[in-house]
Amino acid sequence: MSLRGRAAIVGIGEVPTKRVHEGRTMVGLCAEAAELAIKDSGLRKEDINGLVTDGVTPPPGLAEYIGIQPNFATGVTMQGASGATATMVATAAINGGICHTALVVMGNARTDRPDPGRGLSGASIRSEWEEPYGMAPGANTGYGLIYQRHMHEYGTTEEQLAKMAADQRFNAQKNENAVFHGQPASKEDILNSRYINEPIKLLESVMPCDGAAALIITTPERAKTLKNKPAYILGTGLKQGEANIWQRDRITETPAVESVRRALEMSGYSPGDIEFAEFYDCYTILAAVCIEDAGLVEKGEIGPFYESTDTTYKGTFPINTDGGQLSGGQPGLAGGFRHVIEGARQVMGKAGPRQVPNSDLCLVNG
Amino acid sequence: MASAYDKPLPVPSNPTLTKPFWEATRKEELLLPRCNTCSALFFYPREVCPKCPSMDLGWQKASGLGKVYSYTKVKQAAHPSFQSADGHIYAIIQLNEGMKIPSNIVGIDADDVKIDMDVVAVFEKVTDEVTLVKFKPI
Ligand SMILES: [Zn+2]
């Protein structure tokens, strides 16, 4: 059995991403995004009988807060991949007959949850083997290592990856929900931003933010009765790699090689059929290696690809059409989830001023 | 007298498990966890072999030789004791035995560090209890 076309996204909701949402809580922002998504779908709250969160906001408390009592509820704790995985889990739960219509929602309020990005961790692999050697905050160290190695193996340049960040910043100027809306930045601006850890520059890494996003997903039969053009899930794939980047055999290759292959196989499409893409971009280099591993460009050719390709929403191959996380901001795990939301938004034809010309087939890497 | 060491010391999640490793570094030896059932060498130390289900684990002395697999010059450090304008090199060393280990490269100007550079383990006593493993070019 395959899940191809067996579920469709029929409603989306997004609370604008801001540095801080004063006076708001994580559960409150999630509730707001949920209400927006339910309203967008045209369904009633009583029609929702599934709930999937990122686990940071536990489903029982959120269900009570928004006044639903679903028959399926779970928290998916898959770090940055939580949003895409939660969508996969909801699709599977719908097709396992456990629920028929699910709300997938996640969000972040940094004042509500102290930012774990700086300082030291508790006793862990990291505290014993990495921190004594002077790590950079958050995940910066590992991505600096990937970046340096990619430059060594393939001759990738900082200027080539700066073009990625610049294209995304351009897209964010048409997205009022993006934290860098109204703040254009050129490739030179990206290149001239300070190093946080070489070769990563400040504008090639995400800014921790507040915000929330939600979607409603249901059966194809129910989707046909609703007002929005549905965004069908045609394929889905997951591959769990090593959690610590330095544990990988090759750090310039990601599990997207297999997760994307599985998703495409299910869908019946090949990389050449994809019209636009939304790719997880905590750093330019991560989106870069995943785009390669997805087969959208040859391995090692991401630099020349960005040099020669307009990836803005108006371009020949649009990528991260809402600005991605680099220009949209990263509201916790909702940052990765927003790639799913934007992919669905474009397919549903709801992207307004940044609607891409061909928007039937999107590849999302969460 | 030198000022007290102010950088983060290793904080083990399982001190019993990794005690032999840190005792060995004080004797200027680099040990690798080894599975007595399937002979796998691996790093970091675990309670169960990552290759087979065995818990019959021991230690084997490493050659101390390896190559710089990758590095990054940290200019914004997680811990203030590591903060400096010039930054410092944080590296992953691929040991000749195959596995990778995070460390620093010493005995070389930061701008001269290169990927695939041959390195050897050196031992840096930072406190009476703790000796860290670092690497220097051969
Ligand atoms: Zn074994």
Q: Residues B95, B109: one domain? A: yes
Residue A42 and residue A44: Cα distance in Å, rounded? 7
Residue B3 lies in a domain: no
In Å, how far is B100's CA from the nearest CA of chain A? 7
**Count of domains in chain B?**
2
Residues 6+ apart with CB under 8 A from B63: B95, B96, B97
Q: Which domains, and CATH codes, for chain A? A: 8-112+205-365 (3.40.47.10)
Yes or no: say if A230 and A6 are a contact pair by the CB < 8 Å rule: no
**B112 and B68, same structural domain?**
yes
List CB contacts (< 8 A) between B13 and chain A.
123-125, 127-128
What is the four-CA torsion angle of B78, B79, B81, B85, rounded to 10 degrees? Answer: 20
- Domain finish residue from B62, B79, B101: B62
Per-residue pLDDT for chain B (138 aa), expressed as one digit of tens each?
457 999 999 999 999 999 999 999 999 999 999 999 999 999 999 999 999 989 999 999 999 999 999 999 999 999 999 999 899 999 999 999 999 999 999 999 999 999 999 999 999 999 999 999 999 999
- Statement to judge: residues B35 and B79 lie in one domain: no
B2 domain residue, yes or no: no
For an interface test with B, give the residue of A126, A196, A246 to mutate (most B CBs within 10 A).
A246
Domain for residue B8, yes or no? no
Does any CB of chain A come closer than 8 Å to the CB of residue B8? yes
Is B134 found in the same domain as B81? Answer: yes
Interface contact flag, A140 B76, Cβ < 8 Å:
yes
Q: How far is residue A342 from each of residues A14, A49, A68, A197, A319, measured CA to CA in Å?
A: 10, 24, 26, 30, 11
- Chain A contact for B100, CB < 8 A? yes
Interface membership of A118 toward B (CB under 8 Å): yes
Q: Residue A128: which of B18, B69, B92 has the nearest Cβ?
A: B18
Q: Which residues in chain B have their CB less than 8 angstroms from residue A158's CB? A: none
> Is B117 inside a domain boundary?
yes
Neighbours of B62 (CB within 10 A): 21
| Residue in B108, B67, B53, B72 with CA at minimum distance from that of residue A130 | B72
Question: Are residues B51 and B104 both part of a single domain?
Answer: no
Let me know if residue B5 belongs to a domain: no
pTM of this prediction? 0.96
Is there a domain that residue B98 lies in? yes
Within 8 A of B82 by CB-CB distance, chain A residues are 134
Q: Do B47 and B98 belong together in one domain? A: no
| ipTM of the complex in this document | 0.97
Domain that holds residue B105: 63-138
Instruction: Please state whether beta strands A8-18 and A101-108 pair in parallel, antiparallel, or not at all (unpaired).
Output: unpaired
If asked whether residues B51 and B105 sit together in one domain, one would say no
Identify whether residues B128 and B73 lie together within a single domain.
Answer: yes
The confidence score (pLDDT) of residue B89 equals: 98
